[in-house]
């Protein structure tokens, strides 16, 4: 138990870096999708650079952070097995599973774009980009409040946040239509 705070600190550091990667990778996907619509040679120059940037982000930051975050989380659960009896932890782990699904889907999108397969619109990616935000809010509130009962209020809050994010995306789209440089 004397190492508990070190393990917890490392877990939190890798949570932050994992989320940093998950927040930024869909943004790079958006740029990649928009670059694919540009004329030559701009399209090829941007696409080559964006492929390199996403590859580095994905394999040097995001994947290692996800693995190390998971390793330290398992270590914490071994040290504190009573947490697995707590209802809030069950809900948190459900959100973590959702985050792994999100990570996996991002990996598929990453591979498609690396192979020049553009299957999504930039608008879809802007919406997709907010999934990690919603999961982060849910997990942080669960960990801090440690209440599975109050998570219902949290879900309502997350839905409100989701609606606000969608409205923000629509507003940004209107601004971009009026000013393409925005």
Residue with tokens 């774009």: 113
In angstroms, the CA 165 to CA 3 distance is 39
Q: Contacts for 32-36 with beta carbons within 8 Å, 24 or more apart? A: 32/113, 32/118, 33/113, 33/118, 33/120, 33/121, 33/122, 33/125, 34/122, 36/116, 36/118
51 labeled binding residue: no
92 labeled binding residue: yes
Q: Which residues are annotated as a binding site?
A: 11, 92
Q: Which residues are annotated as a binding site for heme?
A: 11, 92
């Amino acid at each position: 138990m004397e190492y508990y705070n070190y393990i917890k600190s490392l877990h939190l550091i890798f949570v932050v870096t994992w989320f940093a990667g998950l927040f930024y990778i869909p943004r790079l996907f958006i740029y990649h999708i928009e670059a694919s619509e540009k004329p030559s040679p701009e399209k090829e120059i941007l696409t080559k650079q964006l492929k390199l940037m996403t590859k580095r982000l994905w394999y040097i930051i995001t994947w290692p952070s996800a693995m190390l975050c998971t390793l330290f989380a398992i270590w914490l659960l071994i040290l504190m097995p009573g947490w697995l009896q707590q209802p809030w932890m069950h809900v948190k782990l459900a959100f973590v599973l959702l985050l792994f699904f999100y990570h996996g889907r991002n990996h598929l999108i990453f591979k498609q774009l690396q192979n020049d397969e553009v299957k999504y619109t930039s608008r879809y990616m802007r919406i997709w980009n907010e999934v990690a935000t919603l999961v982060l809010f849910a997990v942080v509130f669960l960990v801090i409040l440690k209440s599975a009962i109050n998570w219902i209020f949290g879900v309502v809050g997350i839905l409100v946040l989701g609606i606000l994010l969608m409205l923000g995306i629509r507003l940004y789209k209107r601004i971009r239509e009026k000013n393409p440089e925005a």
